[in-house]
Protein backbone atom coordinates (compact mmCIF):
# COMPACT_ATOMS: atom_id res chain seq x y z
CA UNK A 1 0.00 0.00 0.00
CA UNK A 2 2.85 2.34 0.88
CA UNK A 3 4.57 1.69 -2.48
CA UNK A 4 1.32 2.29 -4.33
CA UNK A 5 0.81 5.63 -2.56
CA UNK A 6 4.38 6.76 -3.25
CA UNK A 7 4.21 5.76 -6.92
CA UNK A 8 0.83 7.53 -7.31
CA UNK A 9 2.15 10.76 -5.78
CA UNK A 10 5.29 10.55 -7.90
CA UNK A 11 3.27 9.98 -11.06
CA UNK A 12 0.93 12.89 -10.29
CA UNK A 13 3.88 15.17 -9.56
CA UNK A 14 5.60 14.32 -12.83
CA UNK A 15 2.44 14.76 -14.89
CA UNK A 16 1.78 18.16 -13.28
CA UNK A 17 5.30 19.36 -14.05
CA UNK A 18 4.94 18.25 -17.68
CA UNK A 19 1.64 20.13 -18.01
CA UNK A 20 3.16 23.25 -16.44
CA UNK A 21 5.92 23.30 -19.08
CA UNK A 22 3.52 23.52 -22.03
CA UNK A 23 3.67 26.84 -23.84
CA UNK A 24 0.62 29.02 -24.30
CA UNK A 25 -0.74 29.11 -27.85
CA UNK A 26 0.98 31.61 -30.13
CA UNK A 27 -1.01 34.75 -30.98
CA UNK A 28 -2.54 34.72 -34.45
CA UNK A 29 -0.53 36.40 -37.18
CA UNK A 30 -2.18 39.28 -39.02
CA UNK A 31 -3.34 38.55 -42.53
CA UNK A 32 -1.66 40.17 -45.50
CA UNK A 33 -4.37 42.82 -45.92
CA UNK A 34 -4.28 43.65 -42.20
CA UNK A 35 -0.51 43.96 -42.32
CA UNK A 36 -0.72 46.27 -45.34
CA UNK A 37 -3.35 48.46 -43.66
CA UNK A 38 -1.25 48.71 -40.49
CA UNK A 39 1.84 49.68 -42.49
CA UNK A 40 -0.21 52.17 -44.50
CA UNK A 41 -1.50 53.85 -41.33
CA UNK A 42 2.04 54.05 -39.95
CA UNK A 43 3.23 55.58 -43.22
CA UNK A 44 0.41 58.16 -43.19
CA UNK A 45 1.18 59.09 -39.59
CA UNK A 46 4.89 59.46 -40.37
CA UNK A 47 4.11 61.57 -43.46
CA UNK A 48 1.80 63.90 -41.51
CA UNK A 49 4.31 64.46 -38.70
CA UNK A 50 7.13 65.19 -41.15
CA UNK A 51 4.89 67.54 -43.11
CA UNK A 52 3.96 69.38 -39.92
CA UNK A 53 7.63 69.70 -38.98
CA UNK A 54 8.57 71.06 -42.40
CA UNK A 55 5.73 73.56 -42.56
CA UNK A 56 6.27 74.86 -39.04
CA UNK A 57 10.05 75.26 -39.28
CA UNK A 58 10.82 78.85 -38.28
CA UNK A 59 14.04 79.36 -40.28
CA UNK A 60 13.15 77.67 -43.58
CA UNK A 61 12.27 79.87 -46.54
CA UNK A 62 9.29 79.20 -48.79
CA UNK A 63 11.54 77.74 -51.47
CA UNK A 64 13.23 75.40 -48.97
CA UNK A 65 9.86 74.27 -47.66
CA UNK A 66 8.58 73.70 -51.19
CA UNK A 67 11.64 71.63 -52.10
CA UNK A 68 11.41 69.58 -48.91
CA UNK A 69 7.69 68.97 -49.44
CA UNK A 70 8.36 67.91 -53.03
CA UNK A 71 10.93 65.35 -51.85
CA UNK A 72 8.64 64.17 -49.04
CA UNK A 73 5.69 63.74 -51.40
CA UNK A 74 7.82 61.78 -53.87
CA UNK A 75 9.12 59.47 -51.14
CA UNK A 76 5.58 59.02 -49.79
CA UNK A 77 4.26 58.12 -53.25
CA UNK A 78 6.98 55.53 -53.86
CA UNK A 79 6.47 53.92 -50.44
CA UNK A 80 2.70 53.78 -51.00
CA UNK A 81 3.26 52.22 -54.42
CA UNK A 82 5.53 49.58 -52.88
CA UNK A 83 2.92 48.81 -50.24
CA UNK A 84 0.23 48.29 -52.88
CA UNK A 85 2.48 45.89 -54.82
CA UNK A 86 2.78 43.58 -51.79
**pTM summary value:** 0.65
Give the whole-angstrom CA distance, residue 24 versus residue 9: 26
Handedness of CA 35, 86, 40, 33 (dihedral sign): negative
pLDDT tens-digit map of 11-51: 666 666 555 566 777 788 888 899 999 999 999 999 999 99
**pLDDT per position as a tens digit, 58-69:** 998 999 999 999
| C-beta of residue 77 within 8 angstroms of C-beta of residue 37 | no
Between 16 and 73, the higher pLDDT residue:
73
* Listed residue (70, 66, 44) closest to 57, CA to CA: 66
d(CA 56, CA 49): 11
Q: How far apart are CA 27 and CA 24, in angstroms?
A: 9
Q: How confident is the model at residue 77 (pLDDT cuts 50, 70, 90)?
A: very high
Amino acid sequence: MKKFFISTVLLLGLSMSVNAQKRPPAPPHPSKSELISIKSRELDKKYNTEKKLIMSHPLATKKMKRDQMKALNERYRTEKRLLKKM
